Structure 1
Amino acid sequence: MAAFNRNGKPVGLDAQYVGRLPCSTCGIRSMKLPGRQGGLCIPCYADECATAGRRAATAGAWVAASFVGDPCLACGSRSVDANGWAFWCNSCEMQTAVALPPR
């Protein structure tokens, strides 16, 4: 379910999976965003990004900032959602795309 395009950029989850199937990591919350091994819920996506960021930082590489989290990392609201490729906070209206939209 997690796919990459020919340029190596992540491609979002298909609409048929978003909010319907359980997270491939925790199995508790529903899939909202693409992960390395399948669809992830918002907290598991944030954990995966943090882990990848720590690995890259220790290797001396630059890491793209991840603002995805539940609660929102900008305002602390729990009113956050994602549609398979983008994440947003309903309170502070912060938005970020985490993948290319699926075709």
Structure 2
Amino acid sequence: MAAFSRNGRPVGLDVQYVGILPCATCGVRSMKLPGRNGGVCIPCYAEECTALGRRAASAGSWVAASFVGDPCLACGSRSVDANGWAFWCNSCEIQTAVALPPR
């Protein structure tokens, strides 16, 4: 399960896990961002956000836009990375924080 702060926001992955442990969902790529059930890779994070967005939209709720994806959803580059709480594209320089930095 993802860690949450006192105000209910997700907290990023500890640096010792980022890029080292396998994704909790696919087990193929390495953890880069916090997911619902542990650290996930960038593509699995994007899939989680898409699924949650569809559920919220069908329930009539507003959802925050997610720009996280591999390839980059803004420019299509595969030069993307994440550090456990933020995502960025090295080509178009889009950046987004997806969680609070770990303590």
**Fold shared by both chains (TM-score > 0.5):** yes
Runs of 5+ unmatched residues, structure 2: none
- Matched to 1:29, the amino acid is R
Q: Which residue of 2 aligns with 1:7?
A: 7
Matched, 1:32 2:24: no
- Matched to 1:13, the amino acid is L
Identity %: 85
Shift of 1:2: 2.0
- Matched to 1:32, the amino acid is K
Residues 6-31 of structure 1: CA deviation (Å, up to 9, x unaligned): 11100000000000000000000000
Shift of 1:66: 0.2
Q: Tell me, in whole angstroms, the C-alpha distance in 1 between the residues paired with 2:33 and 2:83.
A: 7
TM-score by length of 1: 0.98
Runs of 5+ unmatched residues, structure 1: none
Q: Which residue of 1 aligns with 2:67?
A: 67
Q: Which residue of 2 aligns with 1:17?
A: 17
Ranges of 4+ aligned residues in structure 1 off by more than 2 Å: none
Q: Tell me, in whole angstroms, the C-alpha distance in 1 between the residues paired with 2:32 and 2:39.
A: 7
Q: Tell me, in whole angstroms, the C-alpha distance in 1 between the residues paired with 2:55 and 2:5.
A: 23
Q: Which residue of 2 aligns with 1:101?
A: 101
Figure out how many residues of one structure are paired with residues of the other and give that number: 103
Secondary structure of 1:56's partner?
helix
CA RMSD in angstroms comes to 0.7
